[in-house]
Amino acid sequence: MSLTFYLDKGASLDPGAPCLTLDGMSLSYGEVVELSHDVARALRRSGVQPGDKVGILSANDPTAFSCVFGIARAGAVWCPINPRNGAAENAELLDLFDCAALIYQPAFDDLVAEIAPKLPKLTTRVRLGDEFRSWLDAACDDGSAEAFQPDDVVALVGTGGTTGRPKGVMLTDRNLEVMSAITLMSYPFEERPVYLALAPLTHAAGVLCFPVLARGGEVVIMAKPDVARFLELIERHGVTHTFLPPTLIYMVLGHEALDATDLSSLQCFWYGAAPMSAARLAEALERIGPMAQLFGQSEAPMMISTMSSADHRLPDGSIATHRLSSAGRPSPLVTVAILDEQGRSVPRGERGEICVRGSLVMAGYYRNPEATAEASTFGWHHTGDIGFLDEDGFLYIVDRAKDMVITGGFNVYSAEVEQALMAHAAVRDCAVIGLPDEKWGERVVAVVQPQSDAEIDPAALIAFVKDRIGSVKAPKQIEIWPDLPRSTIGKVLKKEIRITLTEGPAT
């Protein structure tokens, strides 16, 4: 099945049911199916061939997301382009992906005008709005239908260039089918779900739509982040499922309207994309309700491991505090191993690199066989994350391999220090890095973002952490910043923190 399966399956249940909703206006399943056929015909008329790459540059929008299925019907490859990226980064991605066509919102007219002359392969540019409708109307019915095989590439996703030139992750129909199957197996879905998409549809929030659509569910789309409106929409639409990264969940927990909002419809509030504070998670379980974790990466989308809402609690209903810092259990259709540097499995409880096998894993990096080979050493996909499996089979991620700090001959995992810092009531968010130190080799340094109106004494916070994890792991230096530098999807950029602390802020 191709990406169109999820939409067509939902349409078969009720073509008149609401499919994609924005600001109270809905496109039905039948309308989205028809639009996707129109887009496929228009792409073919524009010269797009099966296997060609088609980018979508748009904020969250029902018409733009409908185009994903039109691209699939044409047998082309969907390339989600992050609208929050700068012009240079998006030009680099479109060039890297060999994009032949780009569908974009009018808000990005200037960006497209700037980058288009640098992209000779980009022969078709379609502006959403009146021009888009004219483009569709000019297409004729050529009788063609999508042709696909399970291992055909259906999406090409950028890894993000925070550590160098981005790579293109080739995701096949089979990859996304396995991801969707794991989602439906691992989390509660009762009747037709209502999924609220605040996070970018170019990322995790987008692929989570596929299993929802297969159940005939409604996807309520938010064009831009707004925590107050997010809470309002949960209550208004009876939202059953949603996804947010931890940074936005912390904002929800800090919002004055939270406790007065009726959240009783929620079956599954997914969190992921970055580590979440165990202390904030416990608070979310009490104040929001059924939280559910997912762990994955672009190369093995979303579902390397899962932790259902039930796993967050003990049989008596109390919070399972001892496992709130875990990433759940390896998913049913995925094999996870913890390997040492020689590719050997380590015993339960010992730390090593988290490696994955199975049909969830990407086909490779686009036009980058060297990086593909490096990522698949010893026949496993290497995630770059350091972790361990406990005796109950729960996976714990202790750090990115590149973020481990070696201080005084000891390995200190930044994620463990960050968890200790986040247990302090005055800390809203934080990041831990290692900086060169004459005495220790590297010293543990924390940059802390306080809660609103909170004052933090660095010495007292260091003592707080020492009490929890000991003096070796406690920061030697704490910086208080009003906010942390973040990527376009909300991840803290430790590279920028390191540059600022070693070279000073950019002028």
* Residue-wise DSSP of 193-259: -EEEE-S-TTTHHHHTHHHHHHTT-EEEE-SS--HHHHHHHHHHHT--EEEE-HHHHHHHHT-TTGG
* Residue 77 clears pLDDT 80, i.e. is over it: yes
> Where does residue 381 rank: exposed (0-12), middle (13-18), buried (19+ CB within 10 A)?
buried
Task: Report which DSSP code applies to 420.
Answer: H
Tokens of 367: 């036009």
DSSP 8-state class, residue 313: B
The Cα–Cα gap between 374 and 372 comes to 5
Domain ranges, ordered by start, for the chain: 1-331, 404-503
Average pLDDT, the chain: 91
For the stretch 306-321, pLDDT in tens is 999 999 999 999 999 9
Least confident piece of the model among 92-101, 366-375, 462-471: 462-471
In 71-123 the beta strands, taken as DSSP E runs, fall at: 77-81, 99-104
Rounded to 5 degrees, φ, ψ at 78 are -75, 130
Pairing verdict, β 300-307 and 329-330: antiparallel
Q: For the segment 233-278, what is each residue's pLDDT rounded down to a tens digit?
A: 999 999 999 999 888 898 899 999 999 999 999 999 999 877 788 8
8 Å CB contact between 126 and 132: yes
Rounded to two decimals, the pTM is 0.85
Largest distance between two CA atoms of the chain:
73
What would the pLDDT profile of 143-172 be if each residue is shown by its tens digit?
Answer: 666 666 778 999 999 985 444 578 999 999
**pLDDT, position 162:** 43
How is domain 1-331 classified at the architecture level of CATH?
A: 3-Layer(aba) Sandwich (3.40)
d(CA 344, CA 75): 41
What is the predicted pLDDT for the residue at 486? 85
Identity of the residue numbered 31: E
φ/ψ of 342, rounded to 5, equals -95, 5
Question: Is domain 404-503 in CATH 3.30.70.1070, yes or no?
Answer: no
Record the tokens describing residue 167, joined without a space.
């790579």
Backbone Cα Rg of the chain: 23
Of 275, 271, 272, the C-alpha closest to 285 is 271
pLDDT single digits (tens) 1-32: 689 999 999 999 999 999 999 998 999 999 99
> What's at 407, amino acid-wise?
T
